[in-house]
């Protein structure tokens, strides 16, 4: 647990690459009276990410990096994080893997949400693999980010029952709903 000093909210950057439903949900969470976070920056690896619309709608500063050169993009992001005094990064559908160097250099906390019950089904296409393997349960996990993919310490998980009629897309929808409940809960767990 990290203690909040006074009523200062944790200046947070959310990293996205796509739809941004978790971003939208975190923005709403940040507006609550008792929220520990203030979303001060949105970073996208994709200039066409739908989620960028939320930056415009809620007037949050946004930055886009193409990651053609990983090293260059990461060093520009680190500068922005410093300028904006960011001490928490929430990865939310961010499709790039941050380098160990980036993780070491950023002095705050990095969290990620992953759509499976880690340590099972790390990486991509989780729902397809879960359905293919006829699992009975799946879910989502919020965890600290370390230099190994989807392997940092787990903060919270939510479990979802898989029904016979579920497809990867129905499962994705069910799990997303749980993700939207889980990410704020996990952030509260880290800061309160
Ligand atoms: C979520 O399922 C998240 O767990 C995964 O990518 C998806 C992003 O969805 N990392 P969205 O962009 O937040 O809607």
Catalytic (active-site) positions = 114
Q: Which among 54, 92, 175 is the best mutation to test ligand 1's pocket, defined by most ligand atoms within 8 Å of the CB?
A: 92
How far apart CA 106 and CA 68 sit, in angstroms, is: 21
Domain boundary among 58, 90, 107: 107
140-165 confidence digits (pLDDT tens)? 999 999 988 889 999 999 999 999 99
Ligand 1 proximal residues by C-beta, below 6 Å = 16, 18-22, 51, 92-93, 113-115, 140, 176, 179
Tell me, yes or no, whether 51 and 121 share the same domain: no
pLDDT of 1: 58
Print the domain residue range for 175.
Answer: 115-192
pLDDT above 70: residue 7: no
How far apart CA 15 and CA 42 sit, in angstroms, is: 6
Average pLDDT over residues 121-129: 97
Strands (E), the chain: 10-16, 37-44, 62-64, 88-91, 109-114, 137-144, 154-161
Q: How many CA atoms lie within 13 A of 145 on its CB side?
A: 25
Closest by CA position to 105, among listed 145, 75, 128 = 75
Tell me, yes or no, whether 151 and 173 share the same domain: yes
Domain boundary among 89, 107, 125: 107
Tell me, yes or no, whether 154 and 171 share the same domain: yes
- Count other C-beta atoms under 10 Å from residue 189's C-beta: 12
Between the CA of residue 111 and those of 72, 103, 141, what are the distances in Å?
Answer: 22, 11, 10
Contact between 113 and 183 under an 8 Å Cβ cutoff? The reply is yes
Q: With respect to residue 4, please indicate whether it lies within any of the assigned structural domains.
A: no
Closest by CA position to 138, among listed 165, 113, 112, 163 = 163
Atom of ligand 1 nearest to the CA of 113: 4
pLDDT of 147: 86
Average pLDDT over residues 123-140: 98
Q: How far is the CA of 23 from the centre of ligand 1 (A)?
A: 9
Structure tokens at 115: 């759509």
For residue 101, what pLDDT band results from cuts at 50, 70 and 90?
A: very high
Tell me, yes or no, whether 100 and 141 share the same domain: no
Tell me, yes or no, whether 102 and 185 share the same domain: no
Question: Residue 19 sits in a domain of what CATH number?
Answer: 3.40.50.170
Q: With respect to residue 85, please indicate whether it lies within any of the assigned structural domains.
A: yes
Domain boundary among 67, 82, 107: 107
Tell me, yes or no, whether 23 and 48 share the same domain: yes
Number of domains into which the chain is organized: 2
pLDDT of 148: 86
pLDDT of 3: 58
Q: With respect to residue 166, please indicate whether it lies within any of the assigned structural domains.
A: yes
Start-to-end C-alpha separation, the chain? 7
Instruction: Write the residue with the smallest CA distance to atom 1 of ligand 1.
Output: 93
pLDDT above 80: residue 80: yes
CA 33 from centre of chain: 22
Q: 107: helix, coil or strand?
A: coil
Instruction: Write the residue with the smallest CA distance to atom 8 of ligand 1.
Output: 93
pLDDT above 60: residue 174: yes
Q: With respect to residue 2, please indicate whether it lies within any of the assigned structural domains.
A: no
| Mean pLDDT of the residues in the chain | 96
């Amino acid at each position: 647990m990290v203690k909040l000093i006074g009523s200062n909210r944790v200046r947070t950057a959310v990293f996205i690459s796509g739809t941004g439903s978790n971003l939208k949900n975190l923005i709403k969470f940040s507006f609550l009276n008792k929220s520990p976070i203030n979303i001060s920056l949105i970073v996208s690896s994709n200039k066409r990410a739908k989620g960028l619309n939320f930056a415009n709608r809620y007037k949050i500063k946004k930055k886009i990096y193409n990651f053609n050169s990983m090293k260059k993009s990461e060093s520009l992001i680190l500068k922005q994080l410093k300028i904006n005094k960011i001490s928490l990064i929430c990865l939310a559908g961010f499709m790039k893997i941050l380098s160990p160097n980036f993780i070491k250099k950023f002095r705050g906390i990095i969290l990620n949400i992953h759509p499976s019950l880690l340590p099972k089904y790390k990486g991509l296409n989780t729902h397809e693999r879960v359905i293919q393997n006829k699992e009975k349960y799946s879910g989502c996990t919020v965890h600290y980010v370390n230099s190994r993919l989807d392997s940092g310490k787990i903060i919270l998980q939510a479990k979802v029952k898989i029904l016979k009629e579920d497809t990867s897309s129905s499962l994705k929808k069910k799990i997303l709903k749980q993700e939207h409940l889980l990410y704020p809960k996990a952030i509260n767990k880290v800061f309160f």
